[in-house]
Amino acid sequence: QVQLVESGGGLVQPGGSLRLSCAASGNIASIYTMGWYRQAPGKQRELVTAISNRGNTDYADSVKGRFTISRDSAKNTVSLQMNSLKPEDTGVYYCNADARTYGDSWSRQYWGQGTQVTVSS
């Protein structure tokens, strides 16, 4: 089993910044990718950004140039620095890991419980 613990959500004004963090723990053999998804009310959950164990990154077009993902593989943590925030960034942000445990022969997706980010004046 893999557990993901998130922190850093909250209320911020447009143009402001927030930093989200996520720590993975458990019977982890390897983690292929870690990243962040978000979901606004009435909309589908979407990929915000992800980073692989090769260091490759992927960003949604809507956040390119404003958000930055970073990873500390030794600590199994991932962070999301969010700058120049807009009201449309509002939603529940979920930490995600594509990981394999010692008890499994395959990797699968693990999720945090989500943290609310609200961008409003």
The 10s digit of each residue's pLDDT in 73-104 is 888 999 999 999 999 999 999 999 999 999 99
Name the nearest CA neighbour of 120 among 82, 84, 90.
Answer: 90
Report, as an integer, the average pLDDT of 8-32.
97
Q: Looking at residue 75, what is its pLDDT?
A: 85
pLDDT at 69 over 90: yes
C-alpha span between 69 and 63 (Å, rounded)? 11
C-alpha span between 106 and 29 (Å, rounded)? 10
- Give residue 45's pLDDT band: very low, low, confident or very high (50, 70, 90): very high
Report, as an integer, the average pLDDT of 44-73.
96
Q: What share of the chain in percent tops pLDDT 70?
A: 100
**Structure tokens, 49:** 């950004």
Would residue 113 be called left, alpha or beta, if left means φ above 0 and alpha means ψ between -120 and 50 degrees?
A: alpha
